[in-house]
């Protein structure tokens, strides 16, 4: 298969397998989504969803969160890991949203990425899922999948994002990145598939004999 044929197969099959793509992180607003995505760094979505109810019961908007002591935030989010860094970021970004953005999450990449604890991937998720802006958030797992399926030659998530945006129509990006995640978690996991095991890998590369060594 050519790269274009592989991309067409992936797009068609992911749509067949996952016609509905609910956002894995529980949230009620662009702000709660932002906080949930921030907490999901090096943490599972399932664990984030067990932590955020208590956090959002305490404060579910920037104005209220800005008043909560950092130590109180840290105590609640400790199960998510990196709690000192994440609690400080949540507190500081909440204050910035109040002071600089009228208490609203800005629908702007530059403004989002200027917030403490918010990188390009987090900003991309918020822009895509909260505001409907075409984006293709790429985490380490999507990066690995794209390499296994030879949709990218990128050595990092930045290069892979560019390749995936070129490989797929813009109108599919927001849904497709979630479909990648769903398939990866169910079939092409880091431990469960090395590029030779899951259905996609076997179909796309039936003659592949050796494990794929992904570039990080």
CB-based contact 83:77 (threshold 8 Å): yes
Catalytic residue among 3, 26, 74, 121: 121
End-to-end CA distance of the chain: give it in Å, rounded: 25
Any catalytic annotation for residue 150?
Answer: no
Degrees to nearest 5, angle at CA 151 with 193 and 132: 100
Closest CA to 10 of 190, 139, 155, 201: 201
Closest CA to 15 of 191, 192, 162, 169: 169
Closest CA to 94 of 50, 39, 41, 35: 35
Report the sign of the C-alpha dihedral through residues 169, 175, 9, 147, in that order: positive
Any catalytic annotation for residue 121?
Answer: yes
Catalytic residue among 86, 139, 163, 194: 139
Q: In the chain, what is the greatest distance between 2 CA atoms, to the nearest angstrom?
A: 59
Distance CA 216, CA 208 (A): 21
Just list the catalytic residues.
Answer: 121, 139
């Amino acid at each position: 298969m050519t790269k274009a044929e592989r991309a067409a197969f992936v797009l068609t099959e992911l749509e067949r397998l996952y016609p509905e793509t609910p956002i894995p992180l529980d949230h009620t607003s662009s702000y709660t989504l932002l906080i949930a995505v921030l907490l999901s760094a090096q943490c599972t979505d399932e664990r984030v969803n067990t932590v955020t109810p208590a956090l959002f019961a305490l404060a579910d908007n920037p104005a209220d969160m800005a008043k909560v002591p950092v130590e109180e935030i840290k105590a609640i989010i400790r199960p998510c890991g990196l709690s000192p860094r994440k609690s400080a970021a949540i507190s500081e970004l909440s204050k910035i949203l109040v002071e600089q953005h009228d208490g609203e999450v800005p629908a702007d990449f530059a403004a989002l990425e200027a917030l403490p604890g918010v990188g390009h991937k987090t900003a991309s998720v918020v822009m895509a899922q909260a505001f409907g802006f075409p984006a293709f958030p790429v985490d380490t797992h999507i990066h690995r999948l794209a390499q296994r399926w030879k949709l990218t030659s990128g050595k990092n998530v930045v290069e892979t994002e560019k390749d995936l945006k070129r490989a797929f129509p813009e109108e599919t990006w927001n849904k497709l990145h979630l479909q990648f995640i769903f398939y990866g978690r169910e079939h092409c996991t880091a431990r469960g598939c090395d590029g030779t095991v899951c259905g996609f890998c076997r179909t796309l590369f039936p003659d592949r004999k050796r494990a794929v060594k992904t570039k990080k």
